[in-house]
Structures are given as structure tokens and as C-alpha cells.
Structure 1
Amino acid sequence: MSHTPHTPLRPIWLCRACAAPWPCGSARLALTAEYADDPVGLCVYLCATLHEAVADLYRLNPDDGPDPRAVFERFLGWVPRRPT
């Protein structure tokens, strides 16, 4: 049995494994673990993917693109924050 990774299916930005909006819960857990020692790297990666996703989603639907607040929450709003 093959295991489909929780990676984005472009240009629609749904998870290849579970069809939830990417990053899905499983992708978020995996990314948090992968970048456990590099939280800035996680934010840089997610900012880059957010930029790509917005461009793709606007190309798919130029008259009614994605909601900026929802896209921010989806890609960056969940990232664990360090206490200051």
C-alpha cells in the first residue's frame, strides 16, 4: 500500500492525501516537526508557498481571488509563536 504525502496539489492547493485545504492538519504537524529547530525557516517557507498559492488561485479565478485574511490564516496564522 502506498502512502500519499500531505503535500499541496497545485494549482488548487488542496492536500494530495486528504483533499483538505493545504496545509492540512497533518501537513502542519509534519512541518512543525521538520522545522522544530528552525522556526524562522518555517515562516520563510510558508511565506513563499503563500505567495505561490495566491498567484495560482488568482489565475484560476481572476474575478474573485482568495480572501487575503483567510489565506494568511491558512498559511501562517497557525504557526507556533515563541514567547517574547
Structure 2
Amino acid sequence: MNDEHIEERPSWRCRSCGEPWPCDQAQANLAATLSPTALRIHMWIRLEIAAQDMPQGLPSEMFERFLRWTG
């Protein structure tokens, strides 16, 4: 199994564990490697891309999934 917890587009599921991305491990990896500001910018960009791939996604759910956990 791939141990990199990265997104699979356009489903936005984790390539490693199959959970919705960012999965818990992806969140931990990102938080450990990026400063808080860089993390929020990175996840905002990912949110914008995901919104294009998943136009049916509710904005509130997308915010919860991609940004809320960043603090």
C-alpha cells in the first residue's frame, strides 16, 4: 500500500487509505511540515481546486473538510 497520504483527483479521496482527503494522516503530515500560515494557504488552494472537481459539494462541508482543522 502506498504510504503517501495524498489526494486522488477528481474524487478527493486519499490514495493511501481511501478516506476523504485530507485524511487524519494527511492532516498530521501537513501540519508537521508547514507553518500555520503556509498550511492555511495550501489548504485554501486545495479547497479551490476541489470545488472545481466537486461542484456539487456544499460550501459549508468543503470548509469543514479543508480549512476548519487548520486552526
Shorter-chain TM-score category?
Answer: over 0.9
Gap regions ≥5 residues in structure 2: none
Distance 2:43 2:27 in 1: 10
Aligned-residue CA RMSD (Å): 1.1
Number of aligned residues: 71
Question: Counterpart in 1 of 2:13?
Answer: 14
- Find the structure with the greater CA-based Rg: 1
Question: Counterpart in 2 of 1:46?
Answer: 43
TM-score normalised according to structure 2 size = 0.93
Where does structure 1 differ by over 6 angstroms across 4 or more consecutive aligned residues? none
Percentage of identical aligned residues: 37
Distance 1:3 1:11 in 2: 18
Q: Which amino acid aligns with 2:17?
A: C
Report which of the two has the higher share of helix. 2
Post-superposition CA distance 1:29-54 (Å, at most 9, x none): 0001011xx21111110000000000
Say whether the 8 Å CA contact 2:51–2:57 is kept in structure 1: yes
SS of the residue corresponding to residue 44 of structure 1 reads: helix
Q: Answer yes or no: is 1:71 the counterpart of 2:68.
A: no
Q: Which amino acid aligns with 1:73?
A: E
Gap regions ≥5 residues in structure 1: 59-64
Question: Counterpart in 1 of 2:52?
Answer: 55
